């Protein structure tokens, strides 16, 4: 958990609770909600506080160790690790499945466009909404 050392380097306490939340986030497949992380941790540590998860996630986002992603009507979280710093998301509006896609041209396009109006972009978040292949197949089956 080398990433957590950044907390200590910036004067934040590296508590066992913070380690548990960060570990659960790293172990989570894909994008996790705070409730999913709390449930995962509660299997190991019964009674783990939901507020601790939310506060730790806010701190991890603030420190650049995690990213909050608005997926439909929920906030999901993912760790920021080498190799996943810049990617976009596709969200199936039918079943809620989320897919990570790499489209390096998106941040480049935004940077070029924003430079024209002298706007500095800190980060680019893109969520494409649509219907995944499985749901498309299901829709086709329903119509047949």
31-89 confidence digits (pLDDT tens) = 899 999 999 999 999 989 999 999 999 999 998 888 888 877 788 898 886 655 667 88
On whether the CB atoms of residues 6 and 63 are closer than 8 A, the answer is yes
Higher pLDDT, 140 or 106: 106
On whether the CB atoms of residues 93 and 72 are closer than 8 A, the answer is yes
Predicted local distance difference test score (pLDDT) of residue 21:
95
The stretch 96-112 carries a mean pLDDT of 84
Cα separation values, 7 from 13, 23, 78, Å: 7, 14, 17
Cα 14 to the center of its chain, rounded Å: 21
Tens-place pLDDT, residues 5-37? 888 888 888 899 999 999 999 998 878 999 999
Judging by DSSP bridges, how do beta strands 88-92 and 127-130 pair with one another?
Answer: parallel
Tens-place pLDDT, residues 89-101? 888 888 888 888 8
Predicted local distance difference test score (pLDDT) of residue 85:
60
On whether the CB atoms of residues 60 and 25 are closer than 8 A, the answer is yes
Q: How far apart are CA 58 and CA 27, in angstroms?
A: 18
């Amino acid at each position: 958990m080398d990433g957590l050392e950044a907390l200590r380097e910036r004067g934040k306490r590296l508590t066992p609770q913070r380690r548990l939340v960060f570990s659960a986030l790293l172990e989570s497949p894909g994008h996790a909600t705070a409730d999913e992380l709390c449930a995962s941790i509660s299997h190991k540590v019964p009674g783990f506080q939901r507020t601790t998860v939310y506060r730790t996630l806010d701190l991890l986002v603030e420190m650049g160790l995690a990213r909050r992603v608005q997926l439909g009507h929920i906030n999901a979280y993912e760790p920021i690790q080498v190799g996943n710093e810049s990617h976009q998301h596709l969200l199936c509006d039918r079943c809620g499945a989320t897919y990570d896609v790499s489209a390096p041209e998106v941040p480049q396009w935004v940077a070029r466009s924003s430079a024209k109006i002298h706007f500095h972009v800190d980060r680019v978040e893109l969520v494409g909404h649509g219907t995944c292949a499985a749901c498309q197949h299901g829709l086709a089956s329903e119509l047949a």
